[in-house]
Structure 1
Amino acid sequence: MNTQVVVTADGSHSVYNAEVGHHYHSVYGAVQESQRVYIELGLQHAFDTIEGAVRVFEMGFGTGLNALMTLREAIRYNRPVEYVAVEPYPLPSDDARQLNYDDLLHTFWLGDVHDAPWDVPTAVTPYMMLTKYQTPLEYLPTIGPFDVVYYDAFPPEGQPELWTQEIFEKVASMMRPGGFLTTYCSKTYVQHNLRAAGFTVEKHSGPARKREVIRAVLK
C-alpha cells in the first residue's frame, strides 16, 4: 500500500493513500475533525442519551485516531465502550508508529489499538473492548446492534461503492432503532441514500473549512 504520513493544520498527523488518492483525515486538522464529527456528535451524544455501556461501530479503522479518542472519552466519562471496526487494508506498521496522536492527546494507547489482533475481542483497557475485522464492509457478517456508527470511509470520489443506499441499509441492519450514524460527508446524494435506507438526516456545523456534517438517526 502506497501511503505517506503528513502533518495537518492542527499539528496532528494524517496519512495520504496514493492508491485511493485521498487522505485518511482532513488536512485542515485531523484531531479537530474527529473531535467534532465522531466524538461530539457521536460518542458524547450517546453518553448523554444512553445508559450503561455504549456500542460503537467504525467504518474505516484507518489510523486508529477515532478509537484512541473514544477510549480517552470513555475513561473521562467513566463509561465502558464496546468498539468494533472494519478495515480491509490496515495501515502499514511503519506509518502507524510515526503517528503523533499520543503526544498531542496525552494518551498512551495508540500502539495498543494498532497491535490488537484481528477478529478477536481484545480488552485494550477496562473501558474498551476492541474488535477489528480485516474485511470489506460488504462482506462483514451482520453484527450488533450498535448505538453509534462512525462512518469514516474514504470520500465518494475515492470509494463510491461505500456511499450507496444498499451499503447504508446493511449498516442500518447492524444498528438499534434510534441509533445514529455520524459522518463528515454531507453530499446531497449521500443524504438521499441515507434517507432511503431508513435514516432521518440532521445537518450540523462542521470543523474547520467544513460548513456542515451529518448525524443520521435510524427510524
Structure 2
Amino acid sequence: MEKQAPRIITTEDGSHSVYLPEINESYHSSDGAFKESIHVYLLYGLEAWYARNRGKFPIRIFEVGFGTGLNAWLTLIWAEQNQVPVLYHTIEPYPLEKDIYEALNFTQMDETLTHFNGYFKRLHQMDWDKGMPMTDYFNIKKEKTTLQEVQLYPTDLVFFDAFSPKKQPELWEMDVLEKIEDSMNPSAAFVTYCAAANLKKNLGALNLSLDEVPGPLGKKEMTRAWKKSK
C-alpha cells in the first residue's frame, strides 16, 4: 500500500495544521492550531517563565518537534517585541517538504507583520544542524535528529510538542523524561499540551513541581512542571 502524503487541514480558529494519514494524527489541536500554541507555549510557557525569571538572559529553549515551525515563529516574534534574547534549540527527524510549509497560512500571516515579513519561511529554509542568529534577539539551531540521539544543552524552558503518547509512546517514557530533566536549569519549566496522568506521575517522580494549568480551547488541562531552584 502506497504511503499517503501529509496534507494541510484548517483548524477551528482558521489556522492551518498538518495531518499525517499514516498515524491518523495532526500536528496541532483541531480546535485551533494558533490558539493552542499561544496558550500552551507562549502564555503558560514563555510568559510564565519570564515572569518568574525577569532579567535572566538569554532564555534557553529546547523544543521537541519543530513541525510546522509555529512555536519557533511565535517565539521569534515575542523575543523581538520584548527585546529579550532567546537561544532556541529544536529537533525534527522528518521536516516538512517545501510545498507543504509554503502553503501553510502562517506564511500569509507573516507577510502582514511589517517587521517580521518572511521569517516564517526562513525558519524552514535555514540549514539543518547549524546554529545561526535570525534576528538581533533570536538565535536558533535546528537539528534533524531524534530525541533519543540529540545532545541537550542546559535549558530554561522545554516545549514538549511531540505527537501524543498513544502515537509516539517512546518519546514519553521515563528514560527520555529523565534525559530532559537532567538538562533543565534550576527554575526551568517543562510545558506540553498533554495532560496524561502517567506523564504527570513521571514528572513528579523526577522531583519536578507540577502546576494546575487550564488547557487550550477544547482541553480541560495541560501540563506544566518546574525544576526546583537551588
TM-score calculated relative to the size of structure 1: 0.95
Matches within 5 A, 1:173-184: 173-184=182-193
1:90 corresponds in structure 2 to: 95
Distance 2:23 2:211 in 1: 28
Q: Is the 8 A contact 1:165 1:196 kept in 2?
A: no
- Residue deviations 1:179-219, cap 9 Å, x none? 01100000111111111233222121111111101111123
Q: Secondary structure at the match of 1:95?
A: helix
Q: Is the 8 A contact 2:62 2:159 kept in 1?
A: yes
Distance 2:173 2:127 in 1: 30
Distance 1:20 1:193 in 2: 25
Q: Is the 8 A contact 2:59 2:86 kept in 1?
A: yes
Q: Secondary structure at the match of 1:82?
A: strand
Amino acid across the alignment from 1:96: Y
Distance 1:213 1:102 in 2: 27
- The answer to whether 1:19 aligns with 2:10 is no
2:127 corresponds in structure 1 to: 117
Q: Secondary structure at the match of 2:222?
A: strand
Q: 1:126 aligns with which of 136, 140, 150?
A: 136
Q: 2:163 aligns with which of 138, 150, 154?
A: 154
Where do 4+ consecutive residues of structure 1 move more than 4 Å? none
1:75 Cα deviation (Å)? 1.1
Higher strand share: 1
Q: 1:139 aligns with which of 149, 170, 191?
A: 149
- Residue deviations 1:69-89, cap 9 Å, x none? 001111111111100001111
Distance 1:198 1:63 in 2: 32
1:169 corresponds in structure 2 to: 178
Q: Is the 8 A contact 2:107 2:121 kept in 1?
A: no
1:19 Cα deviation (Å)? 2.4
- The answer to whether 1:198 aligns with 2:202 is no
Structure 2: segments with no counterpart, 5+ residues: none
Structure 1: segments with no counterpart, 5+ residues: none
Q: 2:76 aligns with which of 71, 80, 87?
A: 71
Q: Is the 8 A contact 1:12 1:104 kept in 2?
A: no
TM-score calculated relative to the size of structure 2: 0.91
1:176 Cα deviation (Å)? 0.4
- What is the Cα-based RMSD across aligned positions, in Å? 1.3
1:173 Cα deviation (Å)? 1.5
Distance 1:184 1:66 in 2: 12
Q: Secondary structure at the match of 2:90?
A: strand
Distance 1:23 1:214 in 2: 19
Greater Rg by CA: 2
- The answer to whether 1:215 aligns with 2:224 is yes
Distance 1:112 1:104 in 2: 14
Size of the aligned set, in residue pairs, is 218
